[in-house]
Amino acid sequence: MIPKTFNEVIDLGDGREIKLETGKLAKQAHGSVVVQMGNAMLLCTVVSSYKESTLDFFPLTVDYREKFAAAGRYPGGFFKREARPSDGEVLTMRIVDRVLRPLFPSDYRTETQVMIQLMSHDEDVMPDALAGLAASAAIQLSDIPFETAISEARVGRVNGEFVINPSRSQLLESDIDMIIGASADSVMMVEGEMDEISEEEMAEAIQFAHEHIKKQVEAQLRLAEAFGKKPTREYNPGKEDEAIEKKVHEAAYQKIYDIAKGGHSKRERGEAFSAVKEEVLALFSEEELEENEKLIKTYFNKVEKEAVRELTLAEGIRLDGRKTDEIRPIWCETDYLPSVHGSAIFTRGETQALATVTLGTSREANTIDMPTHQGEETFYLHYNFPPFCTGEAYPIRGTSRREIGHGNLAQRALKGMIPENNPYTVRIVSEVLESNGSSSMATVCAGTMAMMDAGIKMKKPVSGIAMGLISDGDRHAVLSDILGDEDHLGDMDFKVTGTADGITACQMDIKVKGLPYEILVKALKQARAGRLHILEKLTETISEPNESVKAHAPKIITRRIPNEFIGALIGPGGKVIQELQKSTGTEIVINEDPVTEEGIVEILGTKQEGIDKVLAKIDSVTFKPEKGSVYEVTVVKVLDFGVVVEYNEAPGNEVLLHISELAWERTENVSDVLKLGDVLDVKYFGVDPRTKKPKVSRKALMEKPERSPRKEDEDQKS
């Protein structure tokens, strides 16, 4: 018997609906829900162990997977099953995790796993916009402690009108692509890319999405009520001791405040804070430490956060001595690495990124093969964050989710400034060499300069800045160019990138509840001032893209040829194109335009001489003589019935000059008129309808001899 199901419907206001269902699938999970929009269906489950973890942090795992069967496809590769998550899946995990994690109790230490799976795909629905809704709905159906229901929604703008959860085709026409995460009363997360929009327009888009999210939150609460809201489970909240807390506060607060006010470097400040911590620990006996050391350190961290925040709110002074809107010293350098196609160093305070650019053909494009999206990226950016950049040593076990997320943000910031006629596939690699505050924004700046150094004709240079906010409800301090410590202790950290004319990408995590939109706009405008300051430093180093690529970098020429000549250029078994690449030292890639069905030939080479030879070969292969035109040719072969001639303007393109077209007089022996290597002019008559072969003539360019009266009489009699 099919079990009873409980359902809720969310009306998007344009004829589309989102349906929530529970009670049918995955009933052993602590909470499960199916979210459906069109034919797209996601199953989300949540399980939280009833056994407390021994870890000193909240062990939450958010997992999102797209099943190939959902789109009626097989996984690519040798093993025909899903394996490690794609970058797209990891990015969806991150946007869900960032909203959920702060809403669990700060002292909750139980292993918790949220699993979201795309089970059915719809071409007109982008499932990542539904993942946050699914996760929150599943938690609402469980007994897991959670502060408030949330949801996430994508917002686009097509022809000036905002669209909620647009399709991929609509996004192609949209100048905004943002995902917003929020509860009913607070925006908590924003991530996306834009086409140089203003700060006010960005705030309007967030507000639009928030209104729809409120309806999605209400639907979750109705579903949980109909299903039967479970009592929130009890858990061990951890030990508290007011006496210890007071003792730590009295011993440490003023010392931390004074150190924070000293404007020290990261290392000096860290050593000073550690010394105070040791002094605090020394106030307790060995027995007290054995029982409460972890609690004492927790209270110390709390005091440290309180003191630093108060310093900024009360005096407008930051950890390194800067004012709230002050940017750290910046220095930049381009063309640092001699062998790469483009390079740049960007250093801001104690954060440094070294970016390299590599140029290639469409063969080097990044292939995207997901159940929901297939395609290629001809511009992509990879971000590396090695342990030494923060003075640490730990094992490197593959690319982290953080590295994927930060690299994607920088890629989205820059990709809109790549011109449409750029012939290259462009790969940027950012190596973070030092980090104390927003290496992703340093990556954007270094990436901009490296592309300009490589000769990529960027539409406009892009810069980025990381911002922070400290608020106690009445007082607000917006911080420009935040440090790593300020990121940790603040109420909002957000990264904004853009040109001089508008925002191109953003990433926000907002921790303060009910942040007024006026404060958000103020923070964005302060970010704009910082961005423009940084942009000025970049353009002082390199004001515009180099005129051409470097001498050792490959030059690329793109040529379109009629579809019918592709085979001739490739040759049997690829023989022609392989020999051409070998002899010219070039790389040749041929693709077919799906619209015009033309062949798109990409020629990549470091030497212009080799490229010119390939172009000459293409001209030869695609050469089409015009009827009635005269061409210079060279004799390449002598036969009994004529000569084979080669068009001088199209080497390799040959045609037969028949013996009857050599001269007006009868020719007995071809060799009496022409020999190998002779150069002459011929007239092209098109395809002979009788022989079905091209016809050229030499005699047509010669004056026809006058006939004698006797000869004419003989001709008439005959």
Q: Residues 176-186: what's their mean pLDDT?
A: 94
- Surface-to-core class of residue 506, CB atoms within 10 Å of its CB (0-12 exposed, 13-18 middle, 19+ buried): buried
Residue 571 has pLDDT above 90, yes or no: no
Residue-wise pLDDT for 155-173, tens only, equals 999 999 999 999 999 999 9
As given in the structure block, the two tokens for residue 555 are 């030059």
DSSP letters for 149-215: -EEEEEEEEETTEEEES--HHHHHT-SEEEEEEEESS-EEEEEEEEEEE-HHHHHHHHHHHHHHHHH
**CA angle (328, 332, 337) in 5-degree steps:** 145
Confidence of residue 711 (pLDDT cuts 50, 70, 90): low
pLDDT confidence of residue 398: 86
Helix (H, G, I), strand (E, B), or coil: what is residue 335?
coil
User: How many Cα atoms occupy the beta-carbon half-sphere of 240 within 13 Å?
Assistant: 4
- Between strands 642-647 and 654-658, the pairing is antiparallel
Q: Residues 135-162: what's their mean pLDDT?
A: 96
Residue 485 has pLDDT above 90, yes or no: no
- Surface-to-core class of residue 422, CB atoms within 10 Å of its CB (0-12 exposed, 13-18 middle, 19+ buried): middle
Residues β-bridged to residue 189: 181, 509
Residue 712 has pLDDT above 60, yes or no: no
Contact 510, 464 (CB under 8 A): no
Average model confidence (pLDDT) across the chain: 91
User: How many Cα atoms occupy the beta-carbon half-sphere of 538 within 13 Å?
Assistant: 33
Phi, psi (degrees; rounded to nearest 5) at 499: -95, -175
**CA angle (130, 131, 133) in 5-degree steps:** 70
Residue 193 has pLDDT above 90, yes or no: yes
Q: Residues 419-424: what's their mean pLDDT?
A: 90
Contact 440, 382 (CB under 8 A): no
Q: Residues 235-248: what's their mean pLDDT?
A: 87
Architecture of domain 242-315: Orthogonal Bundle (1.10)
pLDDT confidence of residue 716: 52
Helix (H, G, I), strand (E, B), or coil: what is residue 590?
strand
Phi, psi (degrees; rounded to nearest 5) at 210: -60, -40
Annotated binding-site members: 487, 493
Residue 707 has pLDDT above 70, yes or no: no
Of residues 468 and 490, more confidence is placed in 468
Of residues 717 and 474, more confidence is placed in 474
Closest listed residue to residue 96, CA positions, set 120, 57, 127: 127
pLDDT confidence of residue 38: 95
- List the alpha helices (DSSP H) in 16-164: 87-100, 128-140
Lowest-pLDDT choice from 7-21, 335-349, 473-487: 473-487
Confidence of residue 708 (pLDDT cuts 50, 70, 90): low
Q: Which CATH class is domain 555-622?
A: alpha beta
- Between strands 351-360 and 425-434, the pairing is antiparallel
Annotated binding-site members for Mg(2+): 487, 493
pLDDT confidence of residue 520: 84
Q: Residues 556-571: what's their mean pLDDT?
A: 87
Identical fold for domains 242-315 and 555-622, yes or no, is no
- The helix (run of H) or strand (run of E) holding residue 405 is helix 401-415
SS3 content of the chain, % helix, strand, coil (to 5): 35, 30, 35
Specify the CATH number for 330-470+519-541; select among 3.50.50.60, 3.30.1490.190, 3.30.230.70, 3.30.830.10. Answer: 3.30.230.70
**HEC letters along 511-539:** CCCCCCHHHHHHHHHHHHHHHHHHHHHHH
Q: Which CATH class is domain 6-227?
A: alpha beta
Contact 113, 398 (CB under 8 A): no
Percentage, residues of the chain above pLDDT 70: 98
Q: Residues 105-129: what's their mean pLDDT?
A: 94
C-alpha to C-alpha distances, 125 to 171, 229, 237, nearest whole angstrom: 11, 30, 41
Residues β-bridged to residue 383: 430
As given in the structure block, the two tokens for residue 617 are 């070969």
pLDDT confidence of residue 223: 96
pLDDT confidence of residue 175: 95
Q: Residues 629-646: what's their mean pLDDT?
A: 91
Residue 370 has pLDDT above 90, yes or no: no
- Surface-to-core class of residue 429, CB atoms within 10 Å of its CB (0-12 exposed, 13-18 middle, 19+ buried): buried
C-alpha to C-alpha distances, 436 to 133, 273, 332, nearest whole angstrom: 34, 17, 17
Confidence of residue 704 (pLDDT cuts 50, 70, 90): confident
**Which of left, alpha, beta for 509 (phi over 0: left; psi -120 to 50: alpha)?**
beta
pLDDT confidence of residue 718: 45
Closest listed residue to residue 116, CA positions, set 101, 137, 98: 137
Of residues 516 and 25, more confidence is placed in 25
Residue 7 has pLDDT above 60, yes or no: yes
pLDDT confidence of residue 33: 97
Closest listed residue to residue 648, CA positions, set 627, 671, 678: 678
Contact 467, 480 (CB under 8 A): yes
Contact 333, 542 (CB under 8 A): no
pLDDT confidence of residue 335: 95
Residue 241 has pLDDT above 80, yes or no: yes
Task: Provide CB contacts within 8 A for 597, sequence distance 6+.
Answer: 563
pLDDT confidence of residue 37: 96
Say which DSSP state 17 is in: E
Ordered by start, the domain boundaries in the chain are: 6-227, 242-315, 330-470+519-541, 555-622, 629-701
Q: How many CB atoms lie within 10 A of CB 375?
A: 11
Instruction: Say which CATH topology domain 629-701 has.
Output: OB fold (Dihydrolipoamide Acetyltransferase, E2P) (2.40.50)
Lowest-pLDDT choice from 234-248, 363-377, 438-452, 700-714: 700-714
* Cα torsion angle, 18, 24, 29, 30, sign: positive
- Surface-to-core class of residue 144, CB atoms within 10 Å of its CB (0-12 exposed, 13-18 middle, 19+ buried): buried
- List the alpha helices (DSSP H) in 322-400: none
